Amino acid sequence: MAYISQAPSGSWKAVIRRTGNPTVSKTFRLKTDAEQWARKAEDEIIRGVYISKSHSERTTITKALERYLEEITPSKKSSSQKPETRRAKTVRKHLGKYSLASLSAANVAQYRDM
């Protein structure tokens, strides 16, 4: 069952608690948005197809690339580290502002065509 409450800041929070599933919540500016999301998410949870996008909505391409360059690139050959860093800089310039959840094939195709 979904529970919708108003925060002191004026935003609306929808919380879904179902036995056998982790608690899911999301904050919205409008109550109607919270209600719509709660209905849709609860339906997906019941059907077993719900996928939480909260992490991918908060992570930008820039953050993902920075983490990749810090954790993965140093373990590669030194001859491939510089080109990889250069490419990442270009991708960050054009696509870095997008979240992982909002990046679409059209965005990537537009970048490719430039």
- Mapped to the 3 state alphabet, what secondary structure does 13-49 carry? EEEECCCCCCCEEEEECCHHHHHHHHHHHHHHHHHCC
pTM score over 0.85: no
Q: Return the sign of the alpha-carbon dihedral for residues 18, 21, 27, 30.
A: negative
Task: State the pLDDT at residue 31.
Answer: 96
> Is residue 43 very low, low, confident or very high in pLDDT (cuts 50, 70, 90)?
very high
- How many angstroms separate the CA atoms of 20 and 110, rounded? 42
Residues 6+ apart with CB under 8 A from 99: 56, 57, 58, 59, 60, 61
- How many angstroms separate the CA atoms of 77 and 81, rounded? 7
Which tokens in the block code for residue 74?
């140093």
Task: State the pLDDT at residue 55.
Answer: 82
Task: State the pLDDT at residue 56.
Answer: 85
Q: 88, 69 in Cβ contact below 8 A? A: yes
Task: State the pLDDT at residue 5.
Answer: 95
Span 53-80, pLDDT tens digits: 878 888 999 999 999 999 999 999 989 9
